[in-house]
Amino acid sequence: DVIESLQFFDPLTGRIRQKIPRFTVYPSSHYVTPRDTVLKAIETIKAELRIRLDEFVKDGKLVEAQRLEQRTRFDLEMLNELGFCKGIENYSRHLSGAMPGEAPPTLVDYLPNDALMFLDESHVLIGQLNAMYNGDKSRKHTLVEFGFRLPSAMDNRPLKFTEFETKIRQTIFVSATPADYENTHTGQVVEQVARPTGLVDPEIEVLPASSQVDDLLSQIHERVKVGERVLVTVLTKRMAEQLTDYLSDNGVKVRYVHSDIDTVERVEILRDLRLGVFDVLVGINLLREGLDIPEVSLVAILDADKEGFLRSERSLIQTIGRAARNVRGKAILYADRITDSMKRAMGETERRRTKQIAFNKANGIEP
């Protein structure tokens, strides 16, 4: 086909509005690797492909060999003709000229040497940085093993944590519950306990777990009467659903969130809670960091004495903190015994609360 003319037209009437001499169509993805670099990469990819095909044939993996050859040769043809292909990032080692196993370039490399780096919610972020490399490696290993990708695709990866450590500049870890890594690597600790609004950490009450559901219902009714909201945290998705059904059957406007609910829907649920569409939100571990809902005056932690990840000292402190955005903030821990994690979490919360109250009194601040 040959383009004879270019023109803008009205889609409703079909009338020609304007003839144009040229029109630039930009690609949805931009790749700016010079042509010479692409051609060199094609040759090194071909060399790696030959070696990998020989390995597959030698091991009797003929299906994997055929799959890899077909896919890679198609990608090579696209690279040669168009300068890019789908999944071009899997050939990044060849395009950048990096050595096998070399750390990939990241945005951190563009920071000046005197840059200041903040790691927000560092107690979670450090763990995620540690896990990123292994998670990516596990997935890519399967693709390479079954002939979907060349071994060099393994080098298109996140940084190992040790590599990240060598790249970070001056760093400030920001967390309400710093983990062991921050405590051992930090020379100075600055506590930001007092809030400008004068709000203090919530009062904590421990009630027996044997009657937690019935007591929770009465606590919810008290809060709903005065237009306040309640967060309830449980241990399993099944319990979240069952508790939601029970509360709903007893006239409570309630919703629940867990990992099966996607991020967009979660945001909508939290917005509806603030707007008063419903009064109680039941969740698992999604109610910890960064959830600031001033309307919430009560946080109820069911089965608080069940030791584990969701009832560790840090998790309890973070969950209790969800009630610190309201003047009447209160946290109820339902437990039949006081665990070490509970003891430490309550002790730390009380320490901060005492400090905040003293600060407010000294400065005449009314929360």
Q: Where are the domains positioned within the chain?
A: 20-97, 107-190, 203-363
The predicted model scores a pTM of 0.70
Q: Which residues contact 218 (CB under 8 A, 6 or more apart)?
A: none
Tens digit of each residue's pLDDT, the chain (367 residues): 788 899 998 888 888 999 999 988 876 666 678 889 999 999 999 999 999 999 999 999 999 999 999 999 999 999 999 888 888 999 999 999 889 989 998 889 999 989 999 999 898 899 898 899 999 999 999 999 999 999 999 999 999 999 999 988 889 999 888 888 988 888 888 888 998 889 999 999 999 998 999 999 999 999 999 999 999 999 988 899 999 999 999 999 999 887 777 778 888 888 899 999 999 999 887 555 557 789 999 999 999 999 888 888 988 998 999 899 999 999 999 999 999 999 999 999 999 999 999 999 999 999 8
Do 342 and 304 meet the contact criterion of CB atoms below 8 Å apart?
yes
Do 259 and 286 meet the contact criterion of CB atoms below 8 Å apart?
yes
CATH number attached to the domain at 203-363:
3.40.50.300
Q: What is the DSSP letter of 296?
A: E
- Per the document, the length of the chain is 367
CA distance 348 to 354: 10
Q: Do strands 6-9 and 16-20 pair parallel, antiparallel, or not at all (unpaired)?
A: antiparallel
